[in-house]
């Protein structure tokens, strides 16, 4: 992205208001910036972290010889500076610069309820390190709360969002295969990536063993399988989370922010920590945001006609909780009292692994930045008496590498030549499960702690419930049964759930709904209490589905942006 | 070892009962230990190359991997991954990597256990063969390493034990990582950074097939 220097540094507040301020430059903020500027608005994008320059900062081809610890990470530095972030696989020796410093960005939890809050503060946000899987929600998800009496009913249905999924997918570029499955509706797809031999085989075996009720497909991923809108097709180097100089995977930095920049109507200000949204009680609207410069700690205020919060679910809610006034003593736009509540994440890391004899003269060629997906079948095609909702699986089958040698007997010439050849085929799958919206899973301001910029931090209280535990018990068992149906040997099961947060699908805390008394946002991601305030990230989610959520955030952000411009033209915002 | 024990119990999954209670949400420290503690992060193998010459960031003079220890480590490594038609572990810079781990990566307890293990090698060889490890005959060295490897195998098969506590487990994983992440190791693997396309079911190259 070429951003003129005037856009990077020392942007000062000005007399003339912006049409919109977008807080956050990641997945959601990038979409708001693109849509709003393309619709003619002058937009200020505020990002808490520094500028990322792909040519300088991306490091996907860095060799381990250039890493002092050969890819094992600088674990003492991680322990000192990033004890939370370091638990994410992508916070590696090269990629850890894209994750926050935990000392500068503290938060607290209940002692018996660990929550891992994985964050990226830089232009591009976490869209730089995301895992790129893209699945649509369906009416199975949008109707679930109403059907089962959990949480509040979504104010929209799939038909409301489907055209916006189409809209964002056409720009993002998502490779995948149409399957006709109602629980994960087909989208606008680029050609799918190939399955490996063993994946193909197991997909067929599952289809026949379970009477067609379970479907394995290739993952739907925001990685280009052919050139697309000025971005190059993937070259299968592997570690997307370290950046991509050919822009082959979607991120705001690779795609939406350059599109916004191309309009000439975006001003991007990095190093801008938003401390609060400013409420104007006489106007009954918000007037802008108060910013602390991340480097100089100087405080300043920017004004705009409309404010969009896309700082990530919990950062957005934190900003609102910190924006108090006589009218909103418990946080801005919180007349309902539900702000901060109904926090969700997805369960993960529970599943099974097996080896597969055969296909010894075959291997995968290239490092596919994608895996397989087994669509949710629980409470879709197969009921479960033990839990509500369901889970999907992600995983991959490929030949083992040299790392297998650390747990193999042997040494010497034969050992070496064995490890220089591909090992057995190994297939691991793990379940990603839906988390119910529960009031007790919540965030609030910590009464004592502040971050490096003096801003009060969050106290996060979140734990899995019996429903998630029952679901993951089943996910482990069904994973083993499916691998066994495919002929897998030496099946092992992972039963240990990771703490909430680590899936990095944290969402909720400023949910959409149909009733201002029980929700923060209406059907357009607009605050019930404040017409010119929109929340466009995962905070808005009323339920979690089991699908990776970024695609849905993108669709919501685009939809809300168009609505806001339309409403402004009618004088309603 | 809780995790591996559970896996062991479930090893014969076919048709059997699977009434393993899921733990309460994994304790943060347990999880942290699993991720940061004893193994490299997942997905790092074979993702890069190395010059094998170290990076100069480690002060050799101050290293706890003393020249005597480095000599033992290098000799063990070269026996695990010897020079064949491709270079061996010593040409891959194994001692520089291990020095970096000893001086800046391992926790004190793990470091001390590893170094204490290395320090048992020469006395054991003197007692058994009458000379330091590096001065033993190749056949004696192989016998000695086979003994260490067999100890490891015994521990691995004993679900109540933890083979990662044995210093030779570290010797082996440090050696493999040093070699396979180095330039010479990646050359030996035929490592490539980029690909025109992804193939899910490609025939092996002659090199991969071992021909």
Q: Residue A213 pLDDT more than 60?
A: yes
CB contact under 8 A, A364 and B32: no
Angle subtended at Cα B105 by Cα B102 and Cα B111, rounded to the nearest 5 degrees: 45
pLDDT band at A12 (very low <50, low <70, confident <90, very high): low
- Alpha-helix residue ranges (DSSP H) falling in chain B: 2-9, 28-32, 67-80, 94-104, 108-129, 138-157, 167-180, 183-189
Residue A55: half-sphere exposure toward Cβ, Cα within 13 Å? 3
By C-alpha distance, which of A468, A405, A474 is closest to B175? Answer: A405
For chain A, give the mean pLDDT: 96
Q: Residue B51 pLDDT more than 90?
A: no
Cα separations (Å) of B67 from B63, B73, B75, B95, B99? Answer: 9, 10, 12, 10, 10
Q: Which helix (H) or strand (E) holds A332?
A: none
Task: Report the pLDDT value the prediction gives residue A83, as an integer from 0 to 100.
Answer: 97
pLDDT band at B39 (very low <50, low <70, confident <90, very high): very low
For residues A375 and A179, is the Cβ–Cβ distance under 8 A?
Answer: yes
Q: B163 in a domain, yes or no?
A: yes
Q: In the A/B pair of chains, how many CB contacts fall below 8 A?
A: 253
Q: Residue A29 pLDDT more than 80?
A: yes
Q: B209 in a domain, yes or no?
A: no
Beta bridge partners of residue B64, listed in sequence order: none
3-state secondary structure at position B7: helix
pLDDT band at A301 (very low <50, low <70, confident <90, very high): very high
Q: Which helix (H) or strand (E) holds A285?
A: strand A285-293
| Alpha-carbon torsion, ordered A268, A272, A278, A283, to 10 deg | -10
pLDDT band at B32 (very low <50, low <70, confident <90, very high): very low
Pick from A225, A411, A497, A500 the residue to mutate for testing the B interface (most B CBs within 10 Å).
A411
Task: Report the pLDDT value the prediction gives residue A533, as an integer from 0 to 100.
Answer: 98
Task: Report the pLDDT value the prediction gives residue B10, as an integer from 0 to 100.
Answer: 31
Q: B5 in a domain, yes or no?
A: no
Residue B127 gets which letter from DSSP? Answer: H
Say if B178 is an interface residue toward chain A (CB within 8 Å). Answer: yes
Beta bridge partners of residue A493, listed in sequence order: A352
Tens digits of residue pLDDT in B108-135: 999 999 999 999 999 999 999 999 999 9
Q: Residue A7 pLDDT more than 60?
A: no
Tens digits of residue pLDDT in A152-191: 999 999 999 999 999 999 999 999 999 999 999 999 999 9
Separation in Å, CA of A413 to nearest CA in chain B: 6
Q: B165 in a domain, yes or no?
A: yes
ipTM score of complex: 0.92
Q: Which helix (H) or strand (E) holds A469?
A: helix A466-485
Q: Residue B159 pLDDT more than 50?
A: yes
For residues A286 and A277, is the Cβ–Cβ distance under 8 A?
Answer: yes
Residues on chain B touching A73 (C-beta within 8 angstroms): 36, 40-41
Of A195, A406, A421, the CB nearest to B210: A421
| Alpha-carbon torsion, ordered B126, B132, B135, B141, to 10 deg | 70
Of A93, A365, A497, the CB nearest to B199: A365
Tens digits of residue pLDDT in A427-450: 999 999 999 999 999 999 999 999
- Over residues A212-227, mean pLDDT: 98
By C-alpha distance, which of A47, A44, A56 is closest to A20? Answer: A44
pLDDT band at A573 (very low <50, low <70, confident <90, very high): confident
Q: Residue A145 pLDDT more than 80?
A: yes
Domain ranges of chain A: 191-242+347-433+464-499
Of A368, A401, A493, the CB nearest to B46: A401
Task: Report the pLDDT value the prediction gives residue A572, as an integer from 0 to 100.
Answer: 83
Task: Report the pLDDT value the prediction gives residue B29, as an integer from 0 to 100.
Answer: 30
Say if B31 is an interface residue toward chain A (CB within 8 Å). Answer: yes
CB contact under 8 A, A70 and B35: no
Residues on chain B touching A403 (C-beta within 8 angstroms): 45-46, 176
Task: Report the pLDDT value the prediction gives residue A11, as an integer from 0 to 100.
Answer: 59
Beta bridge partners of residue A300, listed in sequence order: A291
Task: Report the pLDDT value the prediction gives residue B62, as an integer from 0 to 100.
Answer: 78
Kindly provide the residue ranges of all beta strands, DSSP E only, lying in A310-361, ordered along the sequence: 347-356
Say if B104 is an interface residue toward chain A (CB within 8 Å). Answer: yes
Of B22, B152, B203, the CB nearest to A473: B22
- Over residues A344-350, mean pLDDT: 96
Residue indicated by tokens 């004190």: B108
Q: Distance between alpha carbon A434 and the CA centroid of its chain, in Å?
A: 15
Residue B33 gets which letter from DSSP? Answer: I
Q: Residue A284 pLDDT more than 70?
A: yes
CB contact under 8 A, A72 and B183: no
For residues A218 and A370, is the Cβ–Cβ distance under 8 A?
Answer: yes
Pairing of strands A18-23, A391-399: unpaired
CA-based nearest residue in chain B for residue A66: B50
User: Percent of chain A beyond pLDDT 90?
Assistant: 95
Question: Which pTM does this prediction carry?
Answer: 0.90
Residues on chain A touching B23 (C-beta within 8 angstroms): 495-497
Residues on chain B touching A71 (C-beta within 8 angstroms): 40-41, 44-45, 47-48, 177, 181
Tens digits of residue pLDDT in A484-543: 999 999 999 999 999 999 999 999 999 999 999 999 999 999 999 999 999 999 999 999
CA-based nearest residue in chain A for residue B92: A65
CB contact under 8 A, B41 and A92: yes
CB contact under 8 A, A69 and B182: no
Separation in Å, CA of A486 to nearest CA in chain B: 12
Q: Residue A214 pLDDT more than 70?
A: yes
CB contact under 8 A, B204 and A362: yes
pLDDT band at A66 (very low <50, low <70, confident <90, very high): confident
Tens digits of residue pLDDT in A398-418: 999 999 999 999 999 999 999
CB contact under 8 A, A412 and B47: no
Residues on chain A touching B169 (C-beta within 8 angstroms): 406
Q: Residue B7 pLDDT more than 70?
A: no
Say if B194 is an interface residue toward chain A (CB within 8 Å). Answer: yes
- Over residues A242-246, mean pLDDT: 97
Q: Residue B13 pLDDT more than 90?
A: no
Pick from A58, A61, A63 the residue to mutate for testing the B interface (most B CBs within 10 Å).
A63
Q: B78 in a domain, yes or no?
A: yes
Count CB neighbours of B116 within 10 A: 10
CB contact under 8 A, B50 and A63: yes
By C-alpha distance, which of A75, A509, A77 is closest to A333? Answer: A509
- Over residues B11-25, mean pLDDT: 30
- Over residues A344-367, mean pLDDT: 97
pLDDT band at B21 (very low <50, low <70, confident <90, very high): very low
Please give the full DSSP string across B75-121, using - where no structure is assigned: HHHHHHS--SSS--GGGGTHHHHHHHHHHHTS-HHHHHHHHHHHHHH
């Amino acid at each position: 992205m070429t951003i003129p220097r005037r856009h990077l540094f020392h942007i000062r507040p000005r007399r003339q208001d912006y049409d919109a301020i977008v807080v956050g430059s990641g997945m959601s903020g990038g979409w708001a910036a693109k849509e709003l500027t393309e619709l003619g608005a002058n937009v200020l994008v505020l990002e808490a972290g520094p500028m990322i320059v792909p040519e300088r900062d991306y490091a996907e081809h860095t060799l381990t010889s250039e890493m002092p610890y050969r890819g094992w990470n600088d674990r003492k530095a991680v322990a000192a500076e990033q004890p939370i972030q370091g638990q994410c696989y992508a916070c590696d020796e090269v990629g850890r610069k894209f994750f926050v410093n935990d000392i500068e960005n503290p938060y607290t939890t209940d002692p018996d309820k660990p929550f891992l809050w994985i964050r990226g503060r830089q232009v591009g946000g976490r869209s730089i390190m995301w895992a790129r899987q893209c699945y649509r929600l369906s009416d199975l998800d949008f109707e679930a709360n109403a059907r089962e009496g959990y949480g509040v009913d979504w104010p929209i249905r799939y038909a409301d969002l489907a055209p916006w999924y189409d809209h964002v997918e056409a720009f993002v570029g998502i490779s995948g295969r149409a399957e006709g499955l109602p629980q994960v509706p087909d989208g606008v797809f680029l050609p799918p990536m190939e399955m490996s031999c063993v994946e193909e085989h197991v997909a067929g075996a599952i289809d026949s063993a379970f009477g067609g009720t379970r479907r394995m497909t290739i993952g739907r991923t925001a990685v280009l399988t052919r050139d697309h809108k000025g971005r190059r097709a993937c070259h299968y180097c592997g570690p997307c989370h370290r950046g991509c100089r050919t822009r082959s995977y979607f991120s705001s930095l690779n795609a939406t922010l350059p599109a916004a920049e191309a309009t000439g109507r975006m001003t991007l200000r990095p190093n801008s920590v938003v401390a609060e949204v400013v409420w104007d009680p006489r106007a009954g609207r918000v007037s802008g945001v108060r910013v602390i410069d991340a480097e100089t700690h100087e405080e300043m205020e920017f004004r705009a006609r409309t404010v969009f919060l896309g700082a990530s679910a919990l950062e957005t809610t934190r900003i609102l909780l910190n924006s108090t006034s006589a009218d909103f003593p418990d946080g801005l736009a919180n007349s309902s009292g539900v702000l901060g509540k109904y926090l969700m994440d997805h369960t993960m890391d529970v599943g099974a692994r097996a080896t597969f004899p055969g296909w010894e003269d075959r291997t995968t060629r290239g490092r596919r930045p994608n895996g397989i997906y087994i669509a949710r079948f629980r409470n879709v095609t197969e009921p479960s008496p033990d839990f509500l909702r369901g889970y999907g699986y992600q995983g991959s089958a490929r030949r083992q590498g040299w790392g297998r040698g650390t747990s193999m007997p042997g040494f010497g010439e034969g050992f070496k030549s064995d490890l220089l050849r591909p090992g057995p085929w190994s297939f691991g799958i793990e379940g990603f499960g839906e988390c119910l919206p529960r009031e007790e899973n919540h965030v609030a301001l910590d009464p004592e702690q502040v971050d490096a910029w003096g801003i009060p931090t969050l106290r996060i209280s979140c734990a899995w419930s019996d429903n998630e535990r029952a679901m993951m018990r089943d996910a482990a068992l069904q994973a083993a049964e499916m691998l066994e149906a495919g002929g897998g040997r030496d099946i092992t099961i992972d039963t240990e759930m990771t703490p909430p947060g680590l899936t990095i699908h944290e969402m909720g805390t400023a949910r959409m709904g149909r009733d201002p008394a029980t929700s923060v946002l209406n059907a357009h991601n607009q605050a019930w209490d404040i017409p010119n305030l929109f929340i466009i990230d995962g905070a808005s989610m009323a339920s979690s589905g089991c699908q990776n959520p970024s695609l849905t955030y993108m669709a919501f952000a685009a939809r809300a942006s168009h609505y806001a411009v339309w409403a402004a033209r009618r004088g309603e915002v | 070892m809780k995790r591996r024990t559970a896996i062991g119990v479930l090893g014969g999954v076919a048709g059997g009962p699977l009434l393993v209670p899921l733990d309460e949400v994994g304790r943060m420290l347990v999880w942290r230990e699993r991720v940061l503690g004893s193994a490299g992060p997942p997905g790092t193998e074979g993702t890069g190359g190395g010059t094998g010459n170290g990076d100069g960031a480690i002060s050799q003079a101050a290293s706890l991997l003393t020249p005597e220890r480095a000599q033992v480590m290098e000799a063990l490594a070269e026996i695990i991954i010897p020079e064949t038609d491709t270079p061996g572990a010593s040409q891959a810079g194994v001692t520089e990597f291990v020095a970096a781990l000893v001086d800046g990566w391992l926790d004190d307890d793990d470091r001390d256990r590893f170094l204490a293990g290395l320090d048992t090698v020469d006395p054991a060889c003197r007692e058994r063969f009458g000379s330091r490890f590096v001065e033993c005959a190749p056949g004696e060295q192989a016998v000695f390493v086979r003994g260490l490897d067999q100890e490891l195998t015994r521990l691995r098969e004993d679900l109540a034990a933890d083979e990662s506590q044995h210093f030779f487990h570290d010797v082996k994983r440090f050696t493999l990582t040093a070699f396979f992440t180095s330039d010479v190791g990646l050359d030996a693997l035929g490592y490539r950074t980029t690909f025109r396309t992804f193939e899910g079911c490609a025939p092996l190259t002659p090199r991969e097939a071992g021909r």
